[in-house]
Amino acid sequence: MTRFALTLEFDGGPFMGLQRQAHGPSVQQALEEAVMAVTGETVVMHAAGRTDAGVHALAMKVHVDITKPFTPFRLMEALNARLRPAPIAVLACRAAPDDWHARFSCVGRAYLYRIVNRRAPLTLERGRAWQVAKLLDEAAMHRAAQALVGRHDFTTFRSAHCQAQSPVKTLDRLSVEREGDMVLIEAEARSFLHHQIRSMVGCLAMVGLGRWREEQLREALEARDRQALGLNAPPDGLYFVRAVYPDE
């Protein structure tokens, strides 16, 4: 049996999320069915992170264990052929050690949130970014964001459905910058709470719109109360961009 590490790119729009769901299609279901079609084997996909309905990935790391002999290139090509026309692509494939695990071996995760800051309707970016029509002050957003960097109790930014044992997380980086009419928010940590990034982005947008003072982001954090949340950003603009492993 060989453990294959796969790097996936996908558009989360058609899916109920990355993980298999009883109430709709998922990326996991699509990949597992593709493996079955190629190998005749029933496998379970394990992923570096979880994504909600509508959330995308540029480089999600996953693994599957396959008994039938395959070269990584042949498996990648076969899976991509079977996945069509679903918006999922296997970007890379390699044989991994038996003790390597896409989730448990991962020591860092990075996400990107994209906001299109313009009045004109979205065309090419529809479903792939959050449109905010009023001009955002990205410099104020970046300054406010630094209050969240470090080890904190992120209860305010945690979904009521979060299954993490503790609301305490260490946020390694949270940056905001502008490229034309695109405001880009990057977040890095070992792990995140359910809806943490979308909740942080929503509150940063409140700062950028002038509806919150910069200090209110720290106040919301210190409240440790979901009722202090200003806004939960939609899933459209969120992308899983990188999983970090000690051996890479």
Structural domain boundaries in the chain: 2-96, 108-244
The rounded mean pLDDT for the chain is 96
pLDDT for residue 23: 85
Domains 2-96 and 108-244 alike in fold: yes
pLDDT for residue 6: 98
**What's the whole-number mean pLDDT along residues 39-62?**
96
pTM of the model: 0.95
Amino acid identity of 29?
Q
DSSP per-residue string spanning 151-218:
EEE-GGGS-TT---S-SEEEEEEEEEEEETTEEEEEEEES---TTHHHHHHHHHHHHHTTSS-THHHH
- For tokens 């792990």, the residue is 191
**Lowest-confidence pick of 45-49, 91-95, 224-228, 237-241:** 224-228
- Give CA–CA dist 43/150, Å, rounded: 38
CATH for 2-96, options being 3.10.20.30, 1.10.287.3240, 3.40.50.880, 3.30.70.580? 3.30.70.580
Say if residue 248's pLDDT is above 80.
no
3-state class (DSSP) for residue 74: helix
What pLDDT digit, counting tens, does each position of 143-152 carry?
A: 999 999 999 9
128: left (phi over 0), alpha (psi -120 to 50) or beta: alpha
**What's the whole-number mean pLDDT along residues 191-220?**
97
**What's the whole-number mean pLDDT along residues 193-202?**
96
**What's the whole-number mean pLDDT along residues 28-49?**
97
| pLDDT bucket at 125, cuts 50 / 70 / 90 | very high
* 52 flagged as catalytic: yes
Query: Burial, 149: exposed, middle or buried (Cβ in 10 Å; 0-12, 13-18, 19+)?
Result: middle
3-state class (DSSP) for residue 99: coil
CATH for 108-244, options being 1.10.8.60, 3.30.70.660, 3.90.180.10, 3.40.50.10880? 3.30.70.660
Say if residue 191's pLDDT is above 90.
yes
**What's the whole-number mean pLDDT along residues 199-223?**
97
| pLDDT bucket at 160, cuts 50 / 70 / 90 | confident
Structure tokens at 19: 């993980």
Catalytic residue among 52, 137, 172, 181: 52
